[in-house]
Amino acid sequence: MKIAFIGIGRMGAGMSRNLLKAGHELVVYNRNREKAEALTSSGARVANSPADAARDAEVVMTMVADDRALEEVVFSAQGIASALQPGSIHLSHSTISTVLARKLTTEHAQRKQGYLSVPAFGRPEAADSGQLVVVVAGPHEYVARCKPIFDVIGKETFVIGTEPVQANIAKLCGNFMIISMIESIGEAYATIRKAGIDPELFITTVNSLFSSPFMGMYGKLIAREEFSPARFVLQLGLKDVRLLLDAADDLASPMPLASLVHDNLLSALAQGQGELDWSSMTQVLARNAGLKTKT
């Protein structure tokens, strides 16, 4: 397929490479042009603007930092909304607000352009190896047309609903479940430590019940207080929890545990941990129990 890819960061680079390898025709755009040009050796063409990239594309994929960046990429004078052909489809991979997801749905529809929200779970390594967990929502027809793309970037694709915003909500709720597990580990560790028990031994014990490698991995990092380099930077994690709380507020769905982790992440931020891994939120819990922490 003729694909445009906007936003060649750590995630976008891996996704783009896999699309090229799979034989798709790729035009790429990045604000910092250098990162885009690194892909020319793999066969990508570099565009001068999002509009330029989108003009002849069947599908435009965007993977940018936040709402503001995506608004710029889509709605500015040289944005993709002005150039994308009717019938072509915009796939937004960024973790964005439900307000923006709804706006994109409406605005693209008015231009007879397709739109799908396609957030993904996974770290840059998973993007590199095409092992993302792809979450999609939007009209069946668009989902069907983009299936070849999902198969390239992910190991599994979940079609979560027919309204794009549903995928954004599912992604935010998924992230919420991760940070909730972190809160739970952090509180247990504070108590376990004060009782003189080794936290790694504890999590290994409990995980013989959960059998979750993911929990095992976080449990080990938290026990060892290894929060840098960050797997997921705390201030971005906090941003996602804010987006969830906004979405839940909009749906009139109270989420007290989401409020709790928000407050603890905010406390971590206030204490200078914004660039550490978001699991360093557990240091706040440890200090509140009177424990000394490394960071």
Catalytic residues: 171
Q: Say how many CA atoms lie within 13 Å of 74 toward its Cβ.
A: 27
Question: Which member of 201, 224, 228, 294 binds a copy of itself (CB under 8 A)?
Answer: 201
Q: Which region, judged by CB under 8 A, interacts with a copy of itself, from 35-43, 81-89, 140-148, 184-192?
A: 184-192
Binding to a copy of itself (CB under 8 A) within 215-234 occurs at: 215
CB nearer to a copy of itself: give 149 or 188: 188
Q: Please report whether residue 184 would count as binding a copy of itself according to CB under 8 A.
A: yes
Q: Please report whether residue 169 would count as binding a copy of itself according to CB under 8 A.
A: yes
Q: Please report whether residue 43 would count as binding a copy of itself according to CB under 8 A.
A: no
193-200: Cβ within 8 A, 24+ apart: 193/286, 193/289, 193/291, 194/289, 194/291, 198/223, 199/223, 200/224
Our CA angle for 191, 194, 196, nearest 5°, is: 115
Q: Please report whether residue 213 would count as binding a copy of itself according to CB under 8 A.
A: yes
Structure tokens at 182: 């972190």
Beta-bridged to residue 285, according to DSSP, are none
Binding to a copy of itself (CB under 8 A) within 100-139 occurs at: 121, 133, 135
CB nearer to a copy of itself: give 144 or 270: 270
Question: Which member of 214, 224, 228, 295 binds a copy of itself (CB under 8 A)?
Answer: 214
**Nearest-10 crossing angle of helices 67-75, 98-110:** 10
Give the three-state DSSP class for 156.
strand
Least separation in angstroms between CB 94 and a copy of itself: 18
- For residue 229, whether the previous peptide bond is cis, meaning omega lies within 30 degrees of 0, is yes
Q: Please report whether residue 192 would count as binding a copy of itself according to CB under 8 A.
A: yes
CB nearer to a copy of itself: give 40 or 217: 217
Q: What is the CA radius of gyration of the chain?
A: 20
Single-letter amino acid code for the residue at 17: R
Question: Which member of 230, 258, 276, 281 binds a copy of itself (CB under 8 A)?
Answer: 258
Least separation in angstroms between CB 113 and a copy of itself: 23
Single-letter amino acid code for the residue at 248: A
CB nearer to a copy of itself: give 61 or 135: 135
Q: Please report whether residue 39 would count as binding a copy of itself according to CB under 8 A.
A: no
Question: Which member of 41, 110, 272, 292 binds a copy of itself (CB under 8 A)?
Answer: 272
Cβ(154)–Cβ(128) under 8 Å? Answer: no
CB nearer to a copy of itself: give 85 or 267: 267
Q: What are phi and psi of 224, to 5 degrees?
A: -90, 0
Question: For residue 190, how far is the Cα from the chain centroid?
Answer: 29
